[in-house]
Amino acid sequence: MSRTPLAEKLRRLIEANGPMTVAQYMAHCLTDPEHGYYVTRDPLGRSGDFITAPEVSQMFGEILGGWLIHVWDLCGAPSPVSLVELGPGRGTLMADILRVASRVPKFGVAAHVRLVEASPVLKARQADALKDSSFPLSWHASLDEIPPGPMLLVANEFFDALPIRQYQRIAGEWRERVVSLDAAGELAFGIGPGRLANGPVASEGATLEVSEPAEALVDQIAERIATDGGAALIIDYGNQRTAGDPTLQAVRGHRYTDPLAAPGEADLTAHVDFGALARRAIAEGAAVHGPMPQGEFLLALGLLDRAGRLGSDADEATRDQLRAAVERLAEPYQMGDLFKMLAITQVGIAPPPFSAALGDKQPRPICAA
């Protein structure tokens, strides 16, 4: 195990206060003000620990930009409207969205871009990426700071980093997993005193993961959309699970590693329970569409057409890069099936391509040329 500064801090906390929940451990690892993973570094790109879809190709953000503009129009083109991104990374996705949005003059008048970001390192990257934008920009610590009114929100690989609690099925009960210290004083998983009373029926040894922050956040998003209007698009890896194998994972240097091995120096994530998010959003009075596999979403909205346009006057090396990007984003064995799209809208909106997935006519591409 790595003796990182945060590992030593966690050992002292456990020695003083006893074992901590998996959610508490994740929160410390990712957001500790001194040693937290997202507080101290830019984790993205080939020099970081992982690459997100916006870093693969501009086509991803351009298609999302076209979708957001189209849905804004379906909502009656409200003005003003907040264009919100949760966890904007380096600002790459928002820059690509705004490239499309800037071609719609009435949206340029209506929209205020609002970035919800906690990392000072990434805020600086976002400011640089968006320095030439004609849209008004502001940064916010949380969704609570976004002014009332219609909202278009996008969250790409944000929910997977929200802390989870883990419960294991033992002797017919759901017992909470914790992070403690083993006989050698190293961080180790164990079973704590906590129990979950109303969990699903599952086989012995199964793991149930519950993200209270994710559920609270989607409650807030859905209530806001149901009340003030607009839409949200959540993109992440996950499923509609109830219980099964644990999905908590750590990534460091583009490789999976032990979640306890290097606290504060590896990214910790867990698969998003889209079923739970959908149920919470519906309960708040919003409409829910999906989840839909990322590849199906992008192909339905013109990924191949966009790649063809970008490559029409390009050299062969650029065309090869575009083909590789399409495969990375849309092929089932890459990001195409693992990542899902979940849309939350005001009632009465049928955003493409979700309507097509229910049997409607296949939509035409909505990404600007």
Q: What is the pLDDT of residues 218-247, one digit of tens each?
A: 999 999 999 999 999 999 998 766 667 889
> What's the topology of domain 5-353?
Rossmann fold (3.40.50)
What is the per-residue pLDDT for 243?
67
Q: What is the pLDDT of residues 95-143, one digit of tens each?
A: 999 999 999 999 999 999 999 998 888 899 999 999 999 999 999 999 9
Of 221-230, 306-315, 348-357, minimum mean pLDDT range: 348-357
* Amino acid symbol at 194: G
Residue 356 has pLDDT above 50, yes or no: no
Is the whole-model pTM more than 0.75? yes
Highest mean pLDDT among 38-42, 273-277, 310-314: 273-277
What is the per-residue pLDDT for 17?
96
Lookup: tokens for 47: 């020099």
Domain ranges of the chain: 5-353
**14 SS3 class:** helix
Q: What is the pLDDT of residues 262-310, one digit of tens each?
A: 998 888 999 999 999 999 999 999 999 999 999 999 999 999 999 999 9
The predicted model gives 139-154 an average pLDDT of 97
CB-CB contact of 61 with 136 (8 Å):
no
Residue 24 has pLDDT above 60, yes or no: yes
Compute the mean pLDDT over every residue in the chain, rounded to the nearest whole number. 90
**CA 25 vs CA 74, 149, 186, 210, 355: distances in Å:** 42, 36, 14, 14, 40
CB-CB contact of 328 with 316 (8 Å):
no
Higher per-residue pLDDT: 3 or 141: 141
Q: What is the pLDDT of residues 167-197, one digit of tens each?
A: 999 999 999 999 999 999 999 999 999 999 8
Lookup: tokens for 307: 């790649």
What is the per-residue pLDDT for 363?
37
CB-CB contact of 294 with 335 (8 Å):
yes
What whole-number distance in Å separates Cα of residue 363 and Cα of residue 357? 10
